[in-house]
């Protein structure tokens, strides 16, 4: 039968046993160990002494039994020889009465018959066979168990067995009484020693566990964040060294916590200012947010921000928080006239003002908590070594600003300087983009007007001239010789083709359907002409256009020109066979996609300008960006190309055809 536990069960058993052993307190462990050792030692000694004493007393009992039996044999020899049974009986009774641990006595003759015995109820059966002694033996002892316990049966031959045998039976009651008495005495001694051991263990645990308990309490307090706790040093032993090491550790933790708190405070302030300055807003709003963030993070009550104009000559108050408003004008008037702001600007370092000078407007100012201003710091706002302004913070405590706070404020000043410079650069960039957009809009508008003028002149002047030429050729053909009429007809055909080309060119320059009927009709007409001109398979899909709903003229014109430019590029460069056009009007955007199966092109090379003058992608993008849209190009060599256009549209519809082109 296999009783081996699985490995997982063995591991669980070992783990549970270890947890059970480690659960009690140190005091319980020490007292348990001492008590266990005392009890183990006491019971071990008792057990060993009991065994040794039992063995020794049993040996002495047997020796005394042999002596009694030999004495009985010697004294009964004469009575046996003279056959004096009465004397033998008296001898047996006398022997039995003189030895309390004798259980029985009897004498056998030479033939093994019982001459006398001490049994009141008759001689027991099978007792004779229990012990047999040889004539040459001094004595023979046999042990057997009865209802009264273990009996030592001792047989001694009388005259070497010629006269008979004397036998006695001894019990072990005396031995057991002696062993038990000694055992009880030793148990009492063990109990006394155990009590003394428990007392000693208790004193030992008090000596050992009290410092440990104190150290545990201090450790728990430290774990909860109280770094002011210190463990008492009880001596120079291991516990004393442990207490000193613990106190050193807590001291280091306190220093580290202070450093971390300081660093966290600095990072929180810088992060709050960064979040404030990174939010899109006008410059004054950005600086006001930043000042609020500084005051909130550093738990200060008030502050201000002065900013130079772009020329650097005039200074303006952009933020004033937590201070009386009537003092703001005074601060502006004294900002560059000998106050600490001037020193901070000149030396480009923060200046601590405590106590406040007599000419300081803040000397009698009251904060929101009704306390007077006791000190303030003026910090330059720097960007690339140039002072863009100053900001200040105040406190109602004269020694509130330590060097660490001043360094932090200087870092915030540099952060604000970068923010101011970035906002101004973005303003300049937006202004340039606005001017560029206006110029581009004017260029495109002028281009469209010029196209419109040229289309009108082509249609009116050139078209009428060609029409007149055709009429004249017709008249000449009717009056001329028949032989010249074929030549005149060929000239009329050339003039008709030229008239069609002029009309087509006029429509491409400024399609009248775009102004009259809108984008969808203009694209359908243009695609029809495109198919005839270039013999390409062009698929046009228009979705989302309902009835006479119109879009803004600039949106329709932009999409039309981009699609026109894309199809022109396909015809000139792509060598495609099929072109697909999808134009979808969505609720807030107009989307157009032009795809072909031509040779494709390297988009990066075209966009980055490594191939000039081929596809006009820049013009397409500029048109889309001018109306807030975007254009994307996707293409690869031998895999065709696609143009994606998305133009945002207003929710209102332009239904009146008269509003188009104004």
Pairing of strands 114-117, 351-353: unpaired
Please indicate, yes or no, if residue 235 is contained in any of the structural domains.
Answer: no
Does residue 151 lie in a domain region? yes
The CATH number assigned to the domain holding 310 equals: 3.30.450.40
Residues 431 and 297 in one domain: yes
Residues 474 and 505 in one domain: yes
CA distance 72 to 63: 14
Q: Is residue 6 included in any domain, yes or no?
A: no
Indicate if 506 and 518 belong to the same structural domain. Answer: no
User: What is the reported pLDDT for 532?
Assistant: 85
One domain for residues 527 and 503: no
How many domains does the structure of the chain reveal?
Answer: 3
Same domain, 492 and 526: no
Q: What is the CA radius of gyration of the chain?
A: 62
Flag whether 137 is in a domain: yes
Q: Answer yes or no: do 491 and 545 share one domain.
A: no
Same domain, yes or no: 506 and 537: no
Q: Is the pLDDT of residue 465 over 50?
A: yes
The pLDDT-based confidence of 436 (bands split at 50, 70, 90) is low
Residues 486, 545: one domain? no
Highest mean pLDDT among 139-148, 265-274, 434-443: 139-148
Whether residues 96 and 152 share a domain: the answer is yes
- Cβ pair 409, 395 in contact under 8 A: no
Q: Which of 136, 152, 178 is the last residue of a domain?
A: 178
The domain of 128 spans 61-178
Can you tell me the mean pLDDT for 294-319?
80
The backbone region for 237, taken as left when phi is positive above 0, alpha when psi lies in -120 to 50, beta otherwise, is beta
**Across residues 46-65, what is the average pLDDT?**
88
Domain boundary, last residue among 510, 544, 579: 510
pLDDT recorded at residue 658: 38
CB 127 within 8 A of CB 134: no
Report yes or no on 398 lying in a domain.
yes
Q: Are strands 578-585 and 537-543 parallel, antiparallel or unpaired?
A: parallel
Q: Are residues 474 and 530 both part of a single domain?
A: no
Same domain, 575 and 645: yes
Averaged confidence pLDDT in the chain: 79
Q: CB–CB of 158/72 below 8 Å?
A: no
Q: Confirm whether 186 is domain-assigned.
A: no
The answer to whether residue 226 is domain-embedded is no
Indicate if the pLDDT at residue 558 is higher than 90. no
Q: Which of 459, 479, 510 is the last residue of a domain?
A: 510
In a domain, 579, yes or no: yes
Can you give the CATH number for the domain in which 592 is found? 3.30.565.10
Tell whether the model's pLDDT for residue 232 goes beyond 90: no
Peptide bond into 225 cis (omega under 30): no
Assign residue 161 the CATH number of its domain. Answer: 3.30.450.20
pLDDT digits (tens, 9 = 90+) for 165-194: 999 999 888 888 888 888 888 888 888 888
Domain co-membership, 484 together with 372? yes
């Amino acid at each position: 039968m296999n009783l081996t536990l699985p490995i997982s069960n063995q591991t669980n058993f070992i783990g549970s046993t270890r947890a059970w052993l480690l659960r009690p307190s140190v005091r319980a462990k020490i007292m348990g160990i001492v008590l266990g050792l005392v009890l183990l030692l006491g019971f071990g000694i008792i057990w060993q002494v009991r065994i040794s004493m039992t063995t020794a007393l049993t040996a002495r009992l047997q020796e005394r039994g042999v002596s009694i039996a030999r004495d009985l044999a010697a004294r009964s020899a004469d009575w046996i020889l003279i056959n004096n049974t009465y004397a033998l009986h008296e001898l047996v009774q006398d022997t039995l009465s003189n030895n309390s641990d004798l259980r029985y006595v009897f004498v056998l003759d030479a033939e093994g018959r019982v001459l006398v015995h001490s049994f009141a109820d008759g001689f027991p059966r099978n007792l004779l066979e229990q012990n047999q002694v040889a004539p040459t033996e001094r004595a023979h002892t046999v042990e057997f168990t009865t209802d009264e316990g273990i009996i030592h049966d001792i047989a001694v031959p009388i005259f070497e067995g010629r006269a008979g045998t004397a036998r006695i039976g001894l019990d072990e009651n005396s031995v057991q009484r002696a062993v038990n008495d000694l055992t009880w005495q030793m148990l009492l001694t063990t109990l006394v020693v155990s009590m003394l051991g428990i007392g000693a263990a208790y004193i030992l645990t008090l000596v050992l566990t009290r410092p440990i308990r104190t150290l545990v309490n201090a450790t728990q307090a430290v774990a909860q964040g109280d770094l002011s706790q210190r463990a008492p040093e009880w001596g120079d032993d291991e516990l004393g060294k442990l207490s000193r090491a613990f106190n050193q550790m807590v001291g280091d933790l306190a220093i580290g916590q202070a450093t971390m708190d300081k660093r966290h405070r600095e990072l929180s302030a810088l992060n709050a200012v960064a979040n404030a300055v990174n939010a899109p807003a006008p410059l004054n709003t950005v600086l006001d947010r930043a000042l609020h963030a500084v005051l909130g993070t550093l738990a200060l009550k008030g502050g201000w921000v002065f900013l130079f104009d772009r020329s650097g000559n005039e200074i303006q108050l952009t933020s004033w928080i937590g201070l009386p408003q009537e003092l703001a004008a005074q601060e502006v008037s004294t900002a560059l006239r000998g106050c600490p702001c001037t020193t901070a600007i000149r030396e480009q370092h923060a200046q601590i003002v405590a106590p406040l000078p007599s000419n300081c407007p803040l000397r009698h100012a009251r904060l929101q908590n009704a306390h007077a201003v006791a000190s303030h710091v003026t910090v330059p706002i720097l960007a690339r070594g140039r002072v863009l302004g100053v900001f200040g913070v105040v406190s109602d405590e004269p020694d509130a600003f330590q060097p660490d706070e001043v360094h932090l404020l200087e870092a915030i000043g540099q952060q604000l300087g970068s923010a101011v410079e970035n906002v101004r650069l973005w303003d300049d960039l937006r202004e340039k983009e606005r001017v560029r957009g206006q110029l581009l809009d004017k260029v495109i508008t002028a281009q469209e007007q010029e196209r419109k003028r040229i289309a009108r002149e082509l249609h009116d002047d050139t078209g009428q001239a060609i029409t007149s030429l055709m009429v004249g050729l017709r008249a000449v053909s009717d009056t001329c010789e028949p032989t010249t009429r074929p030549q005149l007809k060929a000239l009329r055909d050339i003039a008709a083709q030229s008239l069609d080309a002029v009309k087509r060119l006029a429509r491409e320059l400024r399609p009248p359907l775009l102004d009259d009927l809108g984008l969808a009709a203009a694209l359908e007409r243009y695609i029809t002409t495109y198919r005839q001109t270039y013999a390409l398979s062009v698929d046009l899909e228009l979705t989302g256009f309902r009835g006479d709903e119109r879009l803004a003229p600039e949106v329709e014109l932009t999409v039309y020109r981009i699609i026109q430019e894309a199809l022109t590029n396909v015809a000139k460069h792509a060598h495609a066979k099929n072109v697909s056009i999808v134009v979808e009007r969505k609720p807030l955007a107009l989307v157009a996609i032009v795809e072909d199966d031509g040779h494709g092109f390297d988009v990066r090379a075209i966009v980055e300008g490594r191939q000039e003058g081929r596809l006009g992608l820049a013009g397409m993008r500029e048109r889309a960006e001018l109306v807030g849209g975007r254009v994307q190009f996707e293409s690869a060599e031998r895999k065709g190309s696609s143009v994606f256009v998305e133009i945002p549209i207003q929710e209102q519809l332009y239904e009146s055809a008269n509003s188009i082109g104004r």
